[in-house]
């Protein structure tokens, strides 16, 4: 029984530690409206991202809406 309790406490501690190392992505804005744009005009916008977590953020794909 003592070993079972020790194992349970160890698993709980590992879970708590693992939760501390998580990415947290913060954006200044989630969308941008270019308004009316003439055909052929070049437009651009930069979305500023910041990782406020303690693990690396991995962006696997990006798609326009």
Tens-digit pLDDT profile for residues 6-59: 665 566 565 555 557 899 989 988 888 999 999 999 999 998 999 999 999 888
Put simply, whether the predicted model's pTM sits higher than 0.85 gets the answer no
Residue 49 neighbours by CB under 8 Å, 6+ apart? 25, 26, 27, 57
pLDDT for the residue 55: 93
Greater model confidence, 1 or 24: 24
Q: Are the beta carbons of 37 and 43 closer than 8 angstroms? A: yes
Name the residue ranges covered by the structural domains of the chain.
1-29+44-65
Q: Residue 11: what pLDDT?
A: 63
- State residue 63's pLDDT score: 81
């Amino acid at each position: 029984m003592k070993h079972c309790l020790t194992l349970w406490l160890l698993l709980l501690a590992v879970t708590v530690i693992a939760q501390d190392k998580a990415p947290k992505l913060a954006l200044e804005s989630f969308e941008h409206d270019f308004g009316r744009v003439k055909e052929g005009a070049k437009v651009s916008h930069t979305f500023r991202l910041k990782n406020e977590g303690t693990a690396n953020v991995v962006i696997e794909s990006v798609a326009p809406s």
